[in-house]
Amino acid sequence: MRDLIKKYSLFLGLIFLFSASVLAQEMPGNRRYGRRHQEQRFSLQPKPHWESHPQGIIFFNTFGSNYLGFGGSYFFRPFLKNHRFGLTVNYIPLPADNFPGFQMYDPYYGGYVYIDREYRKTRSIYALFLNYRQEIFTRKFRYNFRPYVIGGVGPLLAYESVRGRGFLHGYTQLTAAGFAGLGLNYNLGNWFLNAGLHYSIIHFQSSIYNRKVMDSWTLQFGIGKYFRLKPGI
């Protein structure tokens, strides 16, 4: 009899332990439950109609600590979820070099004459990037938060001119540039706020500011809009 009671007690104890372990996995405090519950909750949320629409962004960005530029981007999602391709146009004016005056030899009088005329060099950068962007942690955030990784490459035109001469008489240099970094979109319906941190690198064929390679961190802030593909969608 005692042996039978021990066997039943052991059997009931095993059932209790098994039931407790199963219930523990399904309790709200369990990590698996929380993750599964969060995924189910996000999957039941209605997907915003603008999620797959093209995006347009107007932004300001800094190149290093001295240069401030602006530009625009256009992104579209062709067929891959959370993946976008796009184009970015960026303009960055570089600091000018100022020379207040200079001396020039006068062969008629046989001496030097001081020319009191400002000699000013201005430089600017025009860039066109082909971009690839992938949204990350889509199951960790709601639809209004969209963190992403991004990269881009493309041609870059550097222009240098002297004050007093026409635009066509300036010196141009065509080269390549690229960037990679992180960003975040905060959706506000059909509009959204954009912020990004990128590492950019430019390779010049001839030196600018005594440098052939310019690399720096780029901080970007902008505002964007989703464009409807069809009326009413």
User: What string of H, E and C letters represents the secondary structure of 155-223?
Assistant: EEEEEEEECCCCHHHCEEEEEEEEEEEEEEEEEECCEEEEEEEEEEEEEEEEEECCEEEEEEEEEEEEE
**Res 33: pLDDT:** 44
Q: Which residue has the higher pLDDT, 193 or 6?
A: 193
Question: What is the average pLDDT score of the chain?
Answer: 74
Q: Does domain 46-226 have CATH number 2.40.160.20?
A: yes
Q: Which residue has the higher pLDDT, 94 or 42?
A: 94
Q: Is the pLDDT at 215 greater than 90, yes or no?
A: no
**Res 6: pLDDT:** 47
Closest of 27, 37, 90, 61 to residue 219, by C-alpha: 61
Full-model pTM: 0.65
Closest of 219, 224, 222 to residue 59, by C-alpha: 222
- The structure tokens listed for 231 are 């009326």
Domain boundaries, the chain: 1-45, 46-226
- The dihedrals phi and psi of 209, each to the nearest 5 degrees, come to 55, 40
Q: Which residue has the higher pLDDT, 229 or 33?
A: 229
| Confidence category of residue 49, pLDDT binned at 50, 70, 90 | low
* Conformational region of residue 107, where left means phi above 0, alpha means psi within -120 to 50, and beta covers everything else: alpha
The C-alpha atoms of residue 135 and residue 184 are separated, in whole angstroms, by 9
DSSP character at residue 121:
E
- The structure tokens listed for 197 are 């941190």
**Res 59: pLDDT:** 94
Q: Is the pLDDT at 144 greater than 60, yes or no?
A: yes
**Res 209: pLDDT:** 66
Q: Which residue has the higher pLDDT, 45 or 52?
A: 52
Q: Which residue has the tokens 């401030």?
A: 68
What share of the chain has pLDDT > 70, as a percent? Answer: 59
The C-alpha atoms of residue 231 and residue 178 are separated, in whole angstroms, by 36
| Confidence category of residue 199, pLDDT binned at 50, 70, 90 | very high
**Res 58: pLDDT:** 93
